[in-house]
Amino acid sequence: MKNILAIISILLLSLHGCKDKNVVNPDENTSINPLDTLTQFNGLVVPSEGTVEINLSHVFASKQITLNTANYVNASNDTFNIEDLRYYFTNLSFQKQNGDWVNLKNYQLVDIKTASTQTFTITKLPAGHYKAVRYMLGVDSVSNTSGLQDGALDPSWGMFWTWNTGYIFFRIMGRNPNSARAYSLDLGGNENLPSVVNDLNSYKLKNKNPKIFFEMDINEMFQNPSNYKFETDGWAIHTNTASGATKLALNMMDMVKIKKIE
């Protein structure tokens, strides 16, 4: 009898031991994502890797741009229409709360004549809590001096100057309706690269796939901090050393605003 009881005890202990080994603590392997639980914040919270959709619209002094037929007047009292508008929107970056920037390294050629180029999605947006967004209206110095490339940087798009000066960052063309005199402004050169920063702290959004709606005001490239006048600053810019190029590049630093984020 004693032997039987001993055997039963051993079996019960073995079963208990096996049971303990197979018991899973529901909290043991569960990690809490602090971005999921964050409620008191300003800016943009991306709780897990996602995408960002960019939407671009174009106005002149708050009025939607109409190609060819509409006439516009800048701060220097120049009257002109807009017949062509193309530019690069690249290196979209988000700034974390600690000040570090995350560069998504995109290259998008925007053409106001082609609606599909004005809305695009960038993948692999890292999780994070962001307080600002930055982007270039042109091509960074590395890509600008790397010669012929493909995709949006393919020279066949007509936005490439030479091996020495690289890409045309921003192109706007049209004419004065009174004199029929044409203007053609091609901004390029590493020293003339506009980099725009928009603050995100006035927003409060948590979304792994945010949509950002930007508005570009062409009027701003002709003013603030300096007025650009065709007669004195140039009806044509086709080199990076043109006298009006620097003035345009500085004016363009505040020409894009965020309309909304959703």
Q: Name the region of 119 (left: φ>0; alpha: ψ -120 to 50; beta: rest).
A: beta
Residue 40 domain flag: no
* Domain assignment of residue 178, yes or no: yes
DSSP output for 25-86:
-TTTT----HHHH--S--EEEE-SSEEEEEEEEEEETTEEP-TTT--EE-TT--EE---EEE
Contact residues for 121 (Cβ-Cβ < 8 A; gap 6+): 51, 52, 53, 54
- Structural domain including 63 reads 50-261
Calculated CA dihedral for residues 7, 11, 14, 20, nearest 10 degrees: -140
- Is there a domain that residue 26 lies in? no
User: For position 9, what pLDDT does the model report?
Assistant: 54
Q: Is residue 136 situated within a structural domain?
A: yes
Q: Is residue 43 part of a domain?
A: no
The length of the chain, given as a count of residues: 262
Residue 33 lies in a domain: no
Count of domains forming the chain:
1
DSSP string, the chain: -HHHHHHHHHHHHHHHHHHHHH---TTTT----HHHH--S--EEEE-SSEEEEEEEEEEETTEEP-TTT--EE-TT--EE---EEEEEEEEEEEEETTS-EEE---EEEEETT-GGGGEEEEEEE--EEEEEEEEESS--HHHHTS-S--GGG-GGGS-EEETTTEEEEEEEEEE-TTT--EEEEEEESGGG--EEEEE-TT-EEE-SS-EEEEEEEGGGGGSSSS---HHHH-SEE-STT-HHHHHHHHHGGGSEEEEEE-
Q: Is residue 6 a part of any domain in this protein?
A: no
- Residue 243 in domain: yes
Please give the model's pTM, rounded to 2 decimal places: 0.86
**Token pair in block for residue 4:** 């039987």
In order along its 262 residues, the chain shows pLDDT tens digits of: 555 555 545 545 554 554 444 444 545 456 888 887 878 889 999 999 999 999 999 999 999 999 999 999 999 999 999 999 999 999 999 999 999 999 999 999 999 999 999 999 999 999 999 999 999 999 999 999 887 799 999 999 999 987 677 999 999 999 999 999 999 999 999 999 999 999 999 999 999 999 999 999 999 999 999 999 999 999 999 999 998 999 999 999 999 999 999 9
56 contact partners, CB below 8 Å, separation of at least 6: 89, 110, 118, 119, 214, 215, 216
